[in-house]
Structure 1
Amino acid sequence: MPHETFAACIEACNGCATACNHCAASCLKEADVKMMARCIALDMDCAAACQFAAAAMARGSESAKAICALCADICQACGEECAKHKHDHCQACAKACKDCAAACRAMAG
């Protein structure tokens, strides 16, 4: 079953999507929201990519490897941006993105 084969990567993607959604919502509450604009935009892209990748793996999609490769690139960009900010939610998101990028790269081969 595909969802069992890719369980660790699916879990990493779901965790990253959750962290990104939380980070985006938290960034919107920061005093200088304009300064957080790129972080918020990347959070939204990353969460969507992670959800797409997790679903593709769960379905056993023939495109799962390509989707995960793209997801890894998006996670890397998001993680690098989040790491620039001192907020706890950004730092937690950066770690989730780094972990997810590694899992997706390993899965994509």
Structure 2
Amino acid sequence: MNSAFEDCISECMRCAVACETCASSCLKEQDVQMMADCIKLDRDCADMCLLAAKLMARDSSLAAEICRICAEACRACAKECGKHEAEHCQKCSKACLSCAKACEAMAA
């Protein structure tokens, strides 16, 4: 496997887990409706990260383009999660920003 992909794949996997954890934790918050956008973006971002990791793992010609889109999803999710004080949201926001940087570098 392309060694440049390895770091980005790791970031994508870490981000996907953070997003799934955040979404599940948001569903347990008292005001779930207030967390609706966060949950939606968490789920979209997790799916994009998993897809990006899969395509990089198989050295797909679409990997760079998917990484570019994944970075957009990560940045949107980081922005939304960053609005919430909950620890899971803050952790997710950091993971998303880190993944966005890795994906942007991969797409470049």
TM over 0.5: yes
State the TM-score bracket (shorter-chain normalisation): over 0.9
TM-score (normalised: structure 2): 0.98
Confirm whether residue 34 of structure 1 aligns to residue 33 of structure 2.
yes
Counterpart amino acid of 2:94?
K
Q: Match of 1:6, SS?
A: helix
Quick one: percent identity of the two aligned structures? 56
Name the structure 2 match of 1:62.
61
User: Within 5 A, what are the aligned runs for 1:1-109?
Assistant: 1-2=1-2, 4-109=3-108
Q: CA RMSD in A?
A: 0.6
TM-score (normalised: structure 1): 0.97
- Gaps of at least 5 residues in structure 1 are none
Q: How many residues align?
A: 108
- The ranges of structure 1 where at least 4 consecutive aligned residues each deviate by more than 3 angstroms after the TM superposition are none
CA distance in 2, matches of 1:80, 1:52: 21
- Gaps of at least 5 residues in structure 2 are none
